[in-house]
């Protein structure tokens, strides 16, 4: 039986109004988890003044949250399948809320890092639990696709509005408010969740794969740490060693999964070309989107001269198009099929990324906003369909684990974007230093130029132009990878979606 068919082969019943209301409740933790990836971008200067963290502590305050989520998604997806998805969702929400309150009143940088780590553990339970519950609540493929589109829109919207909300709140309150706002939102989840959300738990007798958990953490966490360190500090001994550990442990994890009685990773999913193509899109798509988003923030502030809040607001058009088109992605699939919807959306994102080559040191803001909004159309469609394909390919009892695989691909893609595309942009930036005396980054170079007074105008102008060259190189690389991937998708999925339908679950037993 597939996840989209009733046990007797009949058409599953349509979702009720109560089910759709439950979907709204499910978006609350998704929105918060996504917001907390970006909300600290504006709060860090204030936190630095209050807690006086070292440079290393600042990096851990920003990164530990994402590390914990990336490392635990697959594990927590499996835990939810075993003990109950609603139960793990509410337990994760409780931990997330308590950790948020601790973070808001943290007396030191170490306490804040610990609180952020706890928030990451809670967030790692919320993401796969919410996505896998959708597979239980919406049995019809078209309704499931629409619901996953709403889920994707909430995640994209949270990442975009995080800096905006953070900036508005910090104008009125102390820095802890960016964490404390999580508590009342989660209270709504606790009040409405037990009555609106169904419980689902797979019937299992096999022992839990604790060895697999350890191996997955030893593979994923060092790998993510290494790529983030490469992006921030370049090639260091610590980063190389941790990277090697991750490279060695990930194959060991796969080897163990092949022999485990109850593996964390459903390896049969990877026999389906549609699933493999979807995971590749998640990886490359987020690599491009994450890397360009980071560089664009520097471009808007340090090249065009806009303040932080304007830079955050400039990202809203892209967030809107991602949200809108992720909701309607399933409708497009019914018209042209999953193959052309995925390939076309990836190609559109590629074209928009390459279009960023039109940006200069004096471009109007509307040009940037238009290009990124077009990219958002492509990203919104592909990200929604990726989640639908991967979750729909898994049997109901493994949809939590499948959603963990999907979201881990997104997390790794983001890390790779910052490391690879960020490093490429930096390399091009430094290569343009024809005796001007650039520092390691544009920000540091501009500070050096300010210290020189009027004589620093030449240095700042050359540095800004060099950064734009690096931005162009990263955008072109990301766009080229996406364009290549669109061709691969057309080839790999040539037997999928010819009738415009989307039923990936039929391809995996």
Cα–Cα distance, 275 to 496 (Å, whole number): 11
Cα–Cα distance, 273 to 228 (Å, whole number): 30
Q: In this model, does residue 90 exceed pLDDT 60?
A: yes
CA triple 160-162-168, angle to 5 deg: 120
How much is the pLDDT for 4?
Answer: 43
For residue 498, give the DSSP letter: T
- pTM of this structure: 0.72
Domain 266-509 carries which CATH code? 1.20.1250.20
Look at residues 500, 143, 493, 145 and name the one whose alpha carbon lies nearest to residue 329: 145
SS3 472: helix
**Alpha helical stretches, state H, 432-456:** 442-451
- DSSP assignment of 60-108 equals HHHHHHHHHHHHHHHHHHHHHHHH-HHHHHHHHHHHHHHHHHHHHT-SS
CB 340 within 8 A of CB 399: no
Look at residues 346, 352, 347, 380 and name the one whose alpha carbon lies nearest to residue 367: 352
For residue 13, give the DSSP letter: P
Mean predicted lDDT score pLDDT of the chain = 77
CATH for the 19-202 domain, from 1.10.3720.10, 3.40.50.300, 2.140.10.10, 1.20.1250.20 = 1.20.1250.20
How much is the pLDDT for 89?
Answer: 85
Please provide the size of the chain in residues: 509
Q: Which residue has the tokens 């809107």?
A: 320
> Taking phi first (over 0 means left), then psi (-120 to 50 degrees means alpha), and beta for anything else, what does residue 52 get?
left
Tokens of 19: 């089910």
Question: Which residue would you say has higher pLDDT here, 468 or 196?
Answer: 468
Question: Which residue would you say has higher pLDDT here, 208 or 28?
Answer: 28
How much is the pLDDT for 175?
Answer: 80
Please give the C-alpha separations between residue 335 and each of 151, 235, 332, 390, in angstroms, as whole numbers: 22, 48, 5, 20
User: What is the torsion angle, in degrees rounded to the nearest 10, for the CA atoms of residue 220, residue 226, residue 230 and residue 235?
Assistant: -150
pLDDT in tens, 244-288: 888 888 888 888 777 777 676 666 666 777 777 888 888 888 888
pLDDT band at 350 (very low <50, low <70, confident <90, very high): very high
Output the 3-class SS for 218-231.
HHHHHHHHHHHHHH
How much is the pLDDT for 482?
Answer: 93
Q: CA torsion sign, 245 to 287 to 158 to 52?
A: positive
Look at residues 28, 179, 174 and name the one whose alpha carbon lies nearest to residue 101: 179
144 burial level (CB within 10 Å; 0-12, 13-18, 19+): buried
Which of 130-139, 189-198, 349-358, 429-438 is modeled with the greatest confidence? 349-358
- DSSP assignment of 195-259 equals HHS--------SPP-HHHHHHHHHHHHHHHHHHHHHHHH-S-HHHHHHHHHHHHHHHHHHHHHHH
Tokens of 50: 């209050």
pLDDT in tens, 451-507: 777 767 788 888 888 889 999 999 999 999 999 999 988 888 776 644 334 443 333
CB 492 within 8 A of CB 277: yes
How much is the pLDDT for 392?
Answer: 65
pLDDT in tens, 291-317: 787 788 788 888 888 877 787 788 788
How much is the pLDDT for 403?
Answer: 66
How much is the pLDDT for 321?
Answer: 87
**Alpha helical stretches, state H, 301-393:** 308-314, 316-327, 329-336, 338-355, 365-393
């Amino acid at each position: 039986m597939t996840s989209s068919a009733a046990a007797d082969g009949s058409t599953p019943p349509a979702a009720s109004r109560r089910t759709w209301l439950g979907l709204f409740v499910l978006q609350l933790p998704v929105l918060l988890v996504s917001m907390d990836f970006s909300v600290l971008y504006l709060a860090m200067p204030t936190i630095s003044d209050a807690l006086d963290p070292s440079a290393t502590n600042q990096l851990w305050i920003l990164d530990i949250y994402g590390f914990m989520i990336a490392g635990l998604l697959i594990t927590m997806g499996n835990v939810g399948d075993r003990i109950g998805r609603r139960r793990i969702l509410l337990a994760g929400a409780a931990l997330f809320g308590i950790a948020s309150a601790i973070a808001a009143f943290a007396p030191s940088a170490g306490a804040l890092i610990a609180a952020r780590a706890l928030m990451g553990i809670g967030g790692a339970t919320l993401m796969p639990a919410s996505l896998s519950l959708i597979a239980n609540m919406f049995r019809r493929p078209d309704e499931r696709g629409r619901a996953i589109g709403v889920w994707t829109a909430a995640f994209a919207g949270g990442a975009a509005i995080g800096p905006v909300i953070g900036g508005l709140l910090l104008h009125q309150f102390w820095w802890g408010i960016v964490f404390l706002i999580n508590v009342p939102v989660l209270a709504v989840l606790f009040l409405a969740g037990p009555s609106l959300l169904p419980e689902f738990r797979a019937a299992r007798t096999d022992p839990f794969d604790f060895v697999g958990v350890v191996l997955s953490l030893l593979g994923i966490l060092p790998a993510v740490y290494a790529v983030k360190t490469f992006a921030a500090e370049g090639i260091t001994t610590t980063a190389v060693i941790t990277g090697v550990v991750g490279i060695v442990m990930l194959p060991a994890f796969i080897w163990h999964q092949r022999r485990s009685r109850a593996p964390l990773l459903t390896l049969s999913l990877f026999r389906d070309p549609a699933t493999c193509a979807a995971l590749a899109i998640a990886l490359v798509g987020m690599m491009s989107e994450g890397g360009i988003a980071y560089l664009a923030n520097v471009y808007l502030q340090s090249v065009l001269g806009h303040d932080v809040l304007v830079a955050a607001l400039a990202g809203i058009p892209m967030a809107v198009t991602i949200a809108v088109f992720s909701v309607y992605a399933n409708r497009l699939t019914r018209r042209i099929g999953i193959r052309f919807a995925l390939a076309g959306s990836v190609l559109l994102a590629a074209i928009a990324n390459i279009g960023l080559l039109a940006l200069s040191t004096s471009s109007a803001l509307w040009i940037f906003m238009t290009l990124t909004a077009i990219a958002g159309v492509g990203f919104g469609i592909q990200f929604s369909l990726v989640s639908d394909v991967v979750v729909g390919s898994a049997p109901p009892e493994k949809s939590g684990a499948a959603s963990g695989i999907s979201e881990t691909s997104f997390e790794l893609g983001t890390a790779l974007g910052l490391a690879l595309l960020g490093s490429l942009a930096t390399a091009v930036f430094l290569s343009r230093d024809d005796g001007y005396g650039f520092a390691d980054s544009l920000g540091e170079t501009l500070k050096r130029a300010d210290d020189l007074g009027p004589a620093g105008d030449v240095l700042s102008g050359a540095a800004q132009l060099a950064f734009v060259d690096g931005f162009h190189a990263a955008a072109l690389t990301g766009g080229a990878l996406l364009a290549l991937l669109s061709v691969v998708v057309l080839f790999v999925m040539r037997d999928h979606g010819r009738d415009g339908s989307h039923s990936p679950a039929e391809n995996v037993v």
